[in-house]
Amino acid sequence: MSKLKIAIQKAGRLNEESIELLKNCGIRIENGKDQLKVSVSNFPIEILYLRNGDIPQYLEDGVVDVAIVGENLLIEKQKDITIVERLGFSPCRVSLAIPKSVQDESLVYFQNKRIATSYPNTVRTFLKKNNLEAEIHVISGSVEIAPNIGLADGICDIVSSGSTLFKNGLKETQVLLKSEAVLAKSKLLTPEKEEILKRLTFRIQTVLNAKNTQYILMNIPTNKIAEISNVLPVLKSPTVLPLAKEGWSSLHSVIKEDEFWEVIEQLKILGAEDILIVPINKIVR
């Protein structure tokens, strides 16, 4: 039986979150430390740990079948690759930044200036769209140092928290694009591998559906079922079970974690008691 070759970043935060996602999908990764290729015993995939910048080319060439990679990298490399699923982790943005001492934070500042970046294609596209001309210096290492050593007037790089820019005396001025981790596939997959990918995607969606959701249980007056059901964002409808105490019911539902505090006060006002919140690992739809 064929195995789906999946590439993930060899090291760093994206590597860790990718492995965590696969493990949450029930994929048993036996080892992998200091190895470039790892087989999986309980699912037909093979994991390849690759340098981040090489992954788009390997995908286009069909050397690997699928990959967990930053969308920003796919945009920069401009390869013929299909995004299968947005994964919601490793968020970042590709932004222009300038020295803190510069007062002009407008786009016009970059006209005829020097920009140091590891994302030349993204910068060229942005400049062209905004009718600007600038000299691009391609750097593969620490881009943030370029203005301090006189190599550039500004930079374009990925930004997460912004702390690296701050430490290097820079400030973010323009966001070119926002990115997150995605599951991408080669266009050269065989029908057999497409079927394996379908199974993998189903598992990933099941994990993602449960992300940032909680199972909520509460005791409520039976005559308040309709009102409380209208307050709760649910999958379809809540589960309601009668309690031994007359006039009371137990209501079970699912709620997004970031909506809980907005809803909890309304639930209390409507008479909900003994509210319990339980984490959810998987949601199968």
pLDDT range class, residue 257, cuts 50, 70, 90: confident
pLDDT range class, residue 32, cuts 50, 70, 90: low
Provide the number of structural domains found in the chain.
3
Q: Which helix (H) or strand (E) holds 263?
A: helix 260-269
33-67 burial code (b ≥16 CB/10 A, e <16): eeeeeeebeebbbbbbbbebeebbebbbeebbbbb
The mean predicted confidence, pLDDT, of the chain is 91
* Pair 90, 182: CB distance under 8 Å: no
- Alpha-carbon gap, residue 89 to 72, rounded angstroms: 13
Domain CATH code at residue 268: 3.30.70.120
Residue 284 lies in a domain: no
Residue 205 lies in a domain: yes
* Pair 170, 148: CB distance under 8 Å: no
pLDDT at 33: 59
| Radius of gyration of the chain from its Cα atoms, rounded to whole angstroms | 24
Q: Do 205 and 69 fall into the same domain?
A: yes
Q: Do 123 and 153 fall into the same domain?
A: yes
Q: Do 75 and 132 fall into the same domain?
A: no
Mean pLDDT, residues 110-116: 96
Q: Do 79 and 197 fall into the same domain?
A: yes
pLDDT range class, residue 82, cuts 50, 70, 90: very high
pLDDT range class, residue 229, cuts 50, 70, 90: confident
Q: Do 67 and 194 fall into the same domain?
A: yes
pLDDT at 104: 92
Q: Do 194 and 204 fall into the same domain?
A: yes
Closest CA to 45 of 3, 2, 1, 8: 3
Position with higher pLDDT, 181 vs 255: 181
pLDDT at 232: 83
Q: What is the pLDDT of residues 133-169, one digit of tens each?
A: 999 999 987 899 999 999 999 999 999 888 889 999 9
pLDDT at 106: 93
pLDDT at 119: 96
Residue 285 lies in a domain: no
Q: Do 154 and 109 fall into the same domain?
A: yes
Q: Do 96 and 230 fall into the same domain?
A: no
Domain CATH code at residue 38: 3.40.190.10
Domain finish residue from 189, 210, 231: 210
Q: Is the pLDDT of residue 91 over 90?
A: yes
Residue 49 lies in a domain: yes
Residue 54 lies in a domain: yes
Residue 47 lies in a domain: yes
Q: Do 225 and 248 fall into the same domain?
A: yes
Phi then psi for residue 186, to 5 deg, are -75, 155
pLDDT range class, residue 196, cuts 50, 70, 90: very high
pLDDT at 235: 64
Q: What is the pLDDT of residues 34-55, one digit of tens each?
A: 678 888 889 999 999 999 889 9
Q: Do 85 and 201 fall into the same domain?
A: yes
- Residue span of the structural domain in which 149 resides: 92-179
Mean pLDDT, residues 244-263: 87
Q: Do 221 and 264 fall into the same domain?
A: yes
pLDDT at 31: 67
Phi then psi for residue 255, to 5 deg, are -140, 145
- Alpha-carbon gap, residue 119 to 84, rounded angstroms: 23
Q: Which helix (H) or strand (E) holds 114?
A: strand 114-117
Q: Do 100 and 168 fall into the same domain?
A: yes
Mean pLDDT, residues 78-86: 93
- Alpha-carbon gap, residue 275 to 241, rounded angstroms: 15
